[in-house]
Amino acid sequence: MPLRHPEEIGYGHVIERYVRRKDSDHPRYRELRSSRVLRPGWPHAERFTRSLIDDATTITDAELNALLGYEWRSRLTAAWLIGVARRASFRERLGDLLLASEVCYSGGAYCFALARLGTHADAEILIAYLDHYLPRTDLRYDQPAALGALLRLDAHLGTRHADRFTGPDGLWEQWVDSLAHLRGDPHWTPAEQRRRTDLRCDFANGWTLG
């Protein structure tokens, strides 16, 4: 699907309003990508978090769709807003974008949003993604974020969907081990991917919407 600048559909304001907004020393999309808001002692945390919550609550579906139809900065920001406010109506759209993997950097935000939505339907999207992309050991896309989100959903839902990916010599291990320098690296264990997802979701769970 071709990318369309929001200006083309009458929503040119959404880039400055939601993506490039500055509540710190960097634009919002850059802070979300770096996850500095999650670090203890970050001086801009309160202002940044409040503005993110406010926008997640008030942004319209049409504005979100305009952001999701554009490039990675817009999609990353939109996915965070969807995840913070748990906009379940965007589940299918996020799943399509995740599986398509058209642009860089935004896939981890889709996985965060799906983990926040927290249902069996979200788990199925993540399973489909991992089934498709873990066998592709030549591609380093959003496999870690997808596995971390699925592990969190398993814990929440009482399921064990991730087991078939994480077992000995399973698809996850094969994907990691295809690069020799990653073998045995603790940053690439399933537990570490779960920890990273938990960090984002637990911070979001502690925020008060409204």
Is 20 a domain residue?
Answer: yes
Using 50, 70 and 90 to split pLDDT, how confident is the model at 205?
Answer: confident
Q: Which residue has the higher pLDDT, 202 or 63?
A: 63
Q: What pLDDT is stored for residue 157 in this prediction?
A: 98
Predicted pLDDT at 209: 56
Mean pLDDT (the chain) is 95
Asked whether residue 143 is domain-assigned, the answer is yes
User: Could you list the residue range(s) of the whole structural domain that residue 39 is in?
Assistant: 6-205
Quick one: pLDDT at residue 208?
Answer: 61
Helix, strand and coil percent figures for the chain, each rounded to 5 = 70, 0, 30
Lowest mean pLDDT of 59-63, 130-134, 163-167, 179-183, name the range. Answer: 179-183
Q: What is the pLDDT of residue 93?
A: 98
Does pLDDT of 115 surpass 70? Answer: yes
pLDDT for position 204: 87
Residue 10's SS3 state is coil
Cα–Cα distance measured from residue 55 to residue 184, given in angstroms and rounded to the nearest whole number: 41
Provide the number of structural domains found in the chain.
1
Six-digit token pair at 33?
A: 């990508």
In a domain, 210, yes or no: no
Residue-level length of the chain: 210
Using CA atoms, how far apart are residues 204 and 206, in angstroms rounded to an integer? 5
pLDDT for 210: 44
Residue 129 included in any domain = yes
Residue 137 in this model has a pLDDT that exceeds 50: yes
Amino acid at 42: W
The closest alpha carbon to 146, from 168, 163, 160, 125, belongs to: 125
The answer as to whether 1 is a domain residue is no
Contacts of 124 (CB under 8 A, 6+ apart): none
- pLDDT tens for residues 51-99? 999 999 999 999 999 999 999 999 999 999 999 999 999 999 999 999 9
Q: Which residues of 30-62 are buried (b: 16+ CB within 10 A; e: fewer)?
A: bbbbeebbeeeeeebbeebbebbbebbeebeee
What's the pLDDT score for residue 104?
93
pLDDT at 140 over 70: yes
> What is the arithmetic mean of pLDDT over 36-56?
93
Q: Give the residue-averaged pLDDT of 176-199.
A: 95
Q: How confident is the model at residue 121 (pLDDT cuts 50, 70, 90)?
A: very high
Asked whether the whole model's pTM tops 0.85, one would answer: yes
